[in-house]
Homo-oligomer: A and B are copies of this chain.
Amino acid sequence: MRNFAFALLGAAAFAFPASAQQQSQQTPGYVVATNPPAPPAVTELSAAQLRTVERLRTAALQSDNAWTIVESLVTEVGPRLAGSEAEARARDWAVRMLREQRFSNIRVEDFTIPYWDATREEAHIISPTRQSMVIAALGGSPSTPEGGLEAEIVRFASMAELEAAPNSAVAGRIVFIDERMTRSQDGSGYGAAVAKRGRCAPVAQSKGAAACLIRSVGTDPHRFAHQGGSSRQAQGASLPAAAVSPADADLLARLVASGRSVRVNLNIVADIRENAPSGNVLAEIRGRERPEEIVILAAHLDSWDLGQGAIDDGAGVAIVTAAARLIRDLPQRPRRSVRVVAFANEEQGLLGGFAYAKAHAGEIAQHVTGAESDFGAGRIYAFSTSEAPEAARETVEQIAQALAPLGIEHTPGKGGAGPDLIPMAQEGMAWASLAQDGSDYFDYHHTANDTLDKVDAKALDQNVAAYAVFAWLAAESDADFGSKPKEP
């Protein structure tokens, strides 16, 4: 399973870092041309369509269903690491919840995954002072020798500096990449900042390093380490690796700047297993005319395990479920089916997404479009889609019109498929992007501080409205948004 998954991940895993929603810089295959065609002459939505859209928007802003869902998930389950007993409890929770929400065809598509968890993650400066640091082992990190490994720190201001360093500067040392992340609305600082999370270990190992520490990939000043996957397993690297909190990165930097030898003991105990049970949870509203055609609404059920997984991605599960529920409650089901998928194991390599793409390999064209919510609970400010055929552009424009009263701009040529939909998008599935304001997303992302209080209930409702409007118009239309299997 591991080899299979990694083979599938291949180069794509590095082009689309797990959890990075804003893929515009990184996913040339899924972004429409930067000079998009002039918008077509648009037929206004019919009066009946407008009534339904208005009903969905109003109901979303009045309901607290999404809040209730995310509150329930973080209360009843909490953190739910991929492949863990907690992820299994989350699947049970999801099945129960989707039943209560009165969807049909609720099912779990099971598969197994490699399992990784750090049962101990500690680092201590032992010279020239003695202080504990707040760290988080990076996903896939092997254990250190019992009692930890001790070595001198060598600091690099960036991955590029590490790459340029001679082996002699690195060999036997603990590499420390002290690179900061830039805050932005669209999360575009993540792509640059996260490179060190995936690449520190393999590059450092190739130069003979003992271990890797990175300044946490995040934008907050608080004493949290940001967890996250690294790609070292895929590259055969086997160097222990961890992220340190901002204050501890500052401390290391000050000590190194003093010119003295800085020695650290890094102690990681990792629980690594093959064939852990996992699975995607699916639920549907069956289309009244073309039930085999599917508009997919996605989020992921798993989380890292220091926080509650509230903004990443309990909010997403709540948003897409509550949006679908509003469509379910309309007097008439839409023509096409709407499928909610709560994906497993987004965090440790999109394994749920790849399993889904494998299980539904022959159904690319039936997945007429889809969108994923996995960037917290900030307000949605922009809408875009993969490049749509001429005939579908009017429908896309109509969806954009229906989203505009929610403060959402149409930004053709931007955005990308959500992470769990990347494997399907790679095979040719069309997608839509409802871009959330992620200005503070990386303050909490993958930390112990990802808790329910960080979810803004009002912004959550606006998200529900947008997903409901998008999914209903897409499912009610007969537009071909461009899903077709890639030529081999």
User: Which residues from chain A sit less than 8 Å from chain B, CB to CB?
Assistant: 71, 74-79, 86, 128-132, 134, 221-224, 246-247, 250-251, 254-255, 258, 307-308, 447-449, 451-454
18 contacts between A and B (CB under 8 A): A75-B251, A75-B255, A75-B258, A76-B128, A76-B129, A77-B129, A78-B129, A86-B130, A131-B308, A134-B448, A221-B453, A222-B449, A223-B224, A223-B307, A223-B448, A247-B451, A247-B453, A251-B452
Decide: B131 and A78 in contact? CB cutoff 8 A.
yes
Q: CA–CA, A257 to B76, complex, Å?
A: 13
Decide: A453 and B254 in contact? CB cutoff 8 A.
no
Residues of B near A448 (CB, < 8 A) are 134, 223
Decide: A223 and B75 in contact? CB cutoff 8 A.
no
Residues of B near A129 (CB, < 8 A) are 75-78
Q: CA–CA, A307 to B224, complex, Å?
A: 12
Residues of B near A132 (CB, < 8 A) are 79
Residues of B near A74 (CB, < 8 A) are 251
Decide: A452 and B308 in contact? CB cutoff 8 A.
no
Residues of B near A451 (CB, < 8 A) are 223, 247, 250
Q: CA–CA, A128 to B77, complex, Å?
A: 10
Decide: A223 and B254 in contact? CB cutoff 8 A.
no
Decide: B247 and A79 in contact? CB cutoff 8 A.
no
Residues of B near A247 (CB, < 8 A) are 308, 449, 451-453
Name the residue among A74, A75, A79, A86 with the largest chain B CB count within 10 angstroms. A75
Residues of B near A78 (CB, < 8 A) are 129-131, 251
Residues of B near A251 (CB, < 8 A) are 74-75, 78, 308, 452
Name the residue among A222, A258, A307 with the largest chain B CB count within 10 angstroms. A222
Q: CA–CA, A224 to B220, complex, Å?
A: 14
Residues of B near A258 (CB, < 8 A) are 75
- Smallest CB separation, A382 vs chain B (Å): 28
Which of B77, B134, B222, B250 contacts A222, CB < 8 Å?
Answer: B222
Decide: A246 and B453 in contact? CB cutoff 8 A.
yes
Residues of B near A76 (CB, < 8 A) are 128-129
